[in-house]
Amino acid sequence: MRVTTVLCAMGLVGCASLGGGVGRETVSQTVDVPVDTAVRIARTQLELHNYRVGATGGSTLITEPRAIPGEVRDAAARREAEYWVVRVDVGRKTLGGTEIKVRGFRLPEGRPTTPGSQPTMIPVTDSDQRLFNEIQAIAGWIGDAARRKADGS
């Protein structure tokens, strides 16, 4: 059941990434490590910070739905538990280097419970500064670890 939920989330995140939104949705880092190394580093950093990677596809990682931390949850909405997923895409840049892109998607209807269900997914933008700061932090963890690897530390 969990595999089905994660696969649905992966498909929806892929579809949601095609839609336009207002504001900035992606935080990017450029590093000097190979793509496969950057993917391994991204997975490790997510897991070190208690995110569970649920779906992978080539150089894309998507976390399992996770409750938005209480301190960044929308205080106005006062929701008990709102969930989100994080998507990390890693790719080679044309002029050299590896680009890591981190995006987040809210699941305002809660954690999917029905196999094959397709919950609404809303891209996190910089208009929600508290949650967007989480995306920036995640990109920072991954970028910093990749730079340490590139420097041989």
What is the pLDDT, as a whole number, of residue 40? Answer: 95
CA 142/CA 138 separation, integer angstroms: 6
Report the range of poorest mean pLDDT among 33-42, 123-132, 134-143. Answer: 123-132
Q: What is the pLDDT of residues 77-128, one digit of tens each?
A: 555 568 899 999 999 988 888 999 999 998 876 666 666 666 678 899 999 8
For residue 17, pLDDT over 80 is answered with no
Locate 77 and state its tokens: 């909405």
Torsion angle, alpha carbons of 134, 135, 139, 140, to 10: -30
State the residue for tokens 């340490």: 148
Closest by alpha carbon to 72, among 16, 147, 133, 17?
Answer: 133
Q: What is the pLDDT of residues 39-76, one digit of tens each?
A: 999 999 999 999 999 888 889 999 999 888 777 766 55
State the residue for tokens 């008990």: 80
Burial status of residue 48 (CB atoms within 10 A of its CB: 0-12, 13-18, 19 or more): exposed
Amino acid at site 28: S
For residue 26, pLDDT over 50 is answered with yes
Inter-residue contact 64 to 85 (CB < 8 Å): yes
Amino acid at site 52: R
